[in-house]
Amino acid sequence: MFEKRFEEGAVIVREGDYGESFFRITKGSAAVFINYGTEAEKKLTELGENTYFGEMAVIGGYLRTASVVALPGGVEVLEIPEKELQDYFRQSPDQIIGLMKHIGSRIRTLTEDYKEVNYVLEELNAKEPAERSEGLLAKIKKIIGFSGTSVNYSKPSAEAVREANHSSGYSKNVITYPEGTVIFKEGEPAECMYDIHWGRVGIYTGFGTSEEVMLTDLSTNHFFGEMGMIEKQPRSATAVVLDEATLEIIREDDLEDLFEKNPAKIGMILGNLVYRLKNLTADYADACKKVKELA
């Protein structure tokens, strides 16, 4: 691990490069750009102290999807090579949940952006120009800026994330539930996440009502419920056992102990979160391109 300082304007990571390390800002700030240094340059966000960047390339094995540039006053970072991630967590075990919360926050923000793009698509497809809302043009301009990036936002392979056996090694809380058990209900407080060692679980909205919809059917070696635990948000859906299922219950307070006794499981959780973020990014990029074509 290395402490580094970058002066204003220095490019810390560059879009399209391979990444062998990620970073945590310890002082100062940096900005995230796509198409940096070109006519199509667009600033996506700014990052402050104790925020991470570059983790997708390291944990998921993807190319850098953006450039990160030091802002006025410069920025100091801790560079964490991929091969030293476990040493980093041993020295700073609180950063296990810190990194999970960072990725979870990115997923939550991008989910809202994706919803907005889909609303724009619906309006472009369904309404005549005279009927469209006043703010639509500004939204389109924002979306088209993202669609111009040269990065290939292809969807990652789900098999690569779930090839490991989640029941291997130390597990703290493992319970077998019969078919039909409701694990948690939509709107309930979220205090833990779950790892399916065996069986199947359905995720529903409107469960038990006339508006019931199954969002997904999860099976062995899948995680679920992690976003609620990370962000302390109410459950956004209901989880129901479809076939008898053996689940590992993981609480935030269990993460340090779990890392000490089964560090591979923490790697699986982080890999799952990065997979979700990468998959969502690909969907968002595809929707942005559709808006550009229609507009």
Would you list the DSSP string of 154-219? PPPPHHHHS-S-TTSS--S-EEEE-TT-EEE-TTS---EEEEEEEEEEEEEESTTSTT-EEEEEE-
Q: Where are the domains of the chain?
A: 2-91, 99-158+277-294, 170-261
**130: DSSP letter:** G
Prediction pTM value: 0.86
Instruction: Spell out, as residue ranges, where the chain has pLDDT lower than 50.
Output: none
pLDDT tens column, 244-276? 999 999 999 999 999 999 999 999 999 999 989
Fold category of 2-91 in CATH: Jelly Rolls (2.60.120)
Nearby residues of 184 by Cβ (< 8 Å), 6 or more positions away: 190, 225, 235, 238, 239
Do 170-261 and 2-91 fall under one CATH topology? yes
What is the pLDDT, as a whole number, of residue 29? 97
CATH superfamily of 170-261: Jelly Rolls (2.60.120.10)
